[in-house]
Amino acid sequence: MKLNQTITPWLLVCGGAVAGLLCVTASGQSIPNPSFEADNFTVSPGYISSNAPITGWTGTPADRVGLNPWGSPFADNGAVPAGNNVAFIQANVTDPGTPSTLSTTISGLNVGTKYKVTFRANASTTNTPNVKVYIAGAAVLLPGVTDGLSPAAVTGSNPYWYIAFEFTAAAASQTLAIVNDATGDQTLLVDDFQIAPSSGRWTVDAWTDDAGSGVDPTFFHTHAYNFGSAANGTINNINFTGVGGTSPNVPGKFSTTFLAAGPVGDVFNFVTGDSATLAAAFVYGGNVPAGSFESITVSGLTPGTNYVMTVYSVAWDDPGLTVRWITASANSDYLTFNQDQFNNNGGIRISYRYTADVSGTMTLRFAPLIQGTTFHVYGFANREAESRFVAPIISAHPQSAIVSPDVSVTFNVTASGVPLPTYQWRFGGAAIADATNSSHSFVAASTNAGNYDVIVSNTAGSVTSLVARLTVGAITIVNPSFEVDTFTGVGYVSANFPITGWSALGGHGINPAASSPFADNGVIPHGSQVSFMQEAGTNSQLVSGFTVGAEYYVHYYENARSVV
């Protein structure tokens, strides 16, 4: 009896009356007798039909499924992953139409939760069985395409292969079935089943062009390299450095293992755009023995920082049972995929999100499950998982204005963002040519009265300001904002000269903003000057051009000196 050490926060007795029966469990979900240690089959070669049912599992046909300890007729190579027993599933040569199956029920599932099942697999020496996995009757390894893979024996005392898949629970209990439907006398060995909620860290996606590359310039990239060629490239404004030859590495940046074959050019794939430079060549592993890995180790990371590492490849064939099945791993997190799953010449990218440890390094490993068909690596990128960029925020919107014709108007916006934002002013919703600063100035006329706004953008996003309305008067008033003249001293007319366009008394005058005794508070409505009237009397001008009988209104701003 043993307790699985990787995911057993508590011991769960399954079936109650069965002595010595344990379940793999985490947060409630469980697989009974996950390492087949509840039974001891003594009648060789270990078939159920000659011994007893496997506790917690159903094997059919009973004369093709059973248990073996290490060194028995079927478990004749590799190191048993957990305990003493492994289950074997021998292909049904007497009735090929009824494939050999080992099944159980996973219980304690939460509907809608994604789970990961990891188990170990091997083949009897010189055998090439099939391993097809079904949840509630639905295939989980390339469903509808291959439904599974055909691994070879690990040989010697090498570790068993890891196979890992994810599924979303549709019920609280669901059937897990492992099927070997290979042709001929081919035996599959399985052991050490584990289940836990998915970490959500792995993603496998098609890579067809720059938009599907996962390269996002709003994130800081620590690494971006192109393998198999010294050609540099750029994808979505991120520079990829070419590393020619085999066994690519850059001291202080990254190193690799089992990528010593190649490089091989690939000019026929379907990857387009700037990504085509990255997809032009690859390196690979040749024959990678069980227990070894093609790998990329990045260094120079900041401990505690979240990152996403993406590795790029392209299908070499259409997907099949016997070509390019890979189990990727990072620490103890596994996922099995097929390099060719998006069909011949289709690109694929495999990404993993992680937190850098105190060493400042991270390794992604790729274990080929079928000898002679290793993973083709075209390059990789590593970026921070959280963007350093900040979308623009407007702190001061442009303000509406009412002015006379021929008066200079300026609309302003204040915004922040990382990187620094750009601006595009609009009039009536249409972009204004060359109006790309934080302010927009022009001379008012009846033709440009209306609504103005500005779009503030950077690579992290964009925001549109509130609308500012410009109203332009119908009648021209001379020097309406008192910007024509520059007065000295206190600013009296009597000490300077008449205000252009106006009839003013000597005790009237002009003050600039915040520097004169009268204009000592408030925001100047337009321009930089105001007229003051300290002496009793009018400050006037003759306005002409009216239409008899028409209605007009006059708009102006007024204020008072703060100290009387």
Q: Is 166 exposed, middle or buried (0-12, 13-18, 19+ CB in 10 A)?
A: middle
pLDDT higher than 70, residue 10: no
The confidence band for 564, taking pLDDT boundaries of 50, 70 and 90, is low
Three-state SS for 257?
strand
Question: Residues in the chain, how many?
Answer: 564
pLDDT tens digits for 463-479? 999 999 999 987 888 99
- The confidence score (pLDDT) of residue 28 equals 83
Question: Two tokens at 309?
Answer: 């590492």
- The confidence score (pLDDT) of residue 26 equals 45
Q: Which of 424, 413, 411, 470 is nearest to 444 (CA)?
A: 470
- The confidence score (pLDDT) of residue 27 equals 54
The confidence band for 118, taking pLDDT boundaries of 50, 70 and 90, is very high
Handedness of CA 224, 228, 230, 233 (dihedral sign): negative
- The confidence score (pLDDT) of residue 515 equals 62
pLDDT tens digits for 338-352? 999 999 999 999 999
Question: Helix %, strand %, coil % for the chain, to 5?
Answer: 0, 40, 55
Q: Percent of the chain at pLDDT above 70?
A: 95
- The confidence score (pLDDT) of residue 456 equals 97
pLDDT tens digits for 102-115? 999 999 999 999 99
- The confidence score (pLDDT) of residue 11 equals 33
Q: Percent of the chain at pLDDT above 90?
A: 78
pLDDT higher than 90, residue 375: yes
Question: Two tokens at 95?
Answer: 């009735």
Q: Tell me how far apart the alpha carbons of residues 365 and 225 are, in angstroms, rounded to a whole number.
A: 17
Q: Is 191 exposed, middle or buried (0-12, 13-18, 19+ CB in 10 A)?
A: buried
What is the bridge-based pairing of β-strands 254-257 and 294-298? antiparallel
User: 16-20, 234-238, 275-279: which has the minimum mean pLDDT?
Assistant: 16-20
Cβ atoms of residues 90 and 68 within 8 Å: no
pLDDT higher than 60, residue 71: yes
pLDDT tens digits for 192-232? 999 999 999 999 999 999 999 999 998 999 999 999 999 99
User: 67-81, 240-254, 550-564: which has the minimum mean pLDDT?
Assistant: 550-564
Three-state SS for 157?
coil
- The confidence score (pLDDT) of residue 124 equals 96
Please provide the average confidence, as pLDDT, over all residues in the chain: 91
The confidence band for 460, taking pLDDT boundaries of 50, 70 and 90, is confident
Q: Tell me how far apart the alpha carbons of residues 86 and 69 are, in angstroms, rounded to a whole number.
A: 6
- The confidence score (pLDDT) of residue 526 equals 84
Which pTM was predicted?
A: 0.73
Q: Which residue has the tokens 């023995």?
A: 289
- The confidence score (pLDDT) of residue 476 equals 83
Q: Which residue has the higher pLDDT, 406 or 48?
A: 48
Backbone angles phi, psi at 118, to 5 degrees: -120, 135
pLDDT higher than 70, residue 297: yes
What is the bridge-based pairing of β-strands 468-472 and 401-403? parallel
CA distance readout (Å), 12 to 169, 177, 555: 20, 22, 82
- The confidence score (pLDDT) of residue 514 equals 60
pLDDT higher than 70, residue 138: yes
pLDDT tens digits for 480-505? 989 999 998 889 999 999 999 999 98
pLDDT higher than 50, residue 24: no
Domains of the chain, start order: 23-197 (2.60.120.260), 202-384 (2.60.120.430), 390-472 (2.60.40.10), 477-564 (no CATH)
Q: Is 123 exposed, middle or buried (0-12, 13-18, 19+ CB in 10 A)?
A: buried
Cα angle 274, 275, 281; round to 5? 120
Backbone angles phi, psi at 49, to 5 degrees: -60, -25
The confidence band for 18, taking pLDDT boundaries of 50, 70 and 90, is very low
Residues ≥6 apart with Cβ < 8 Å to 229: 242, 244, 263, 277, 280, 281
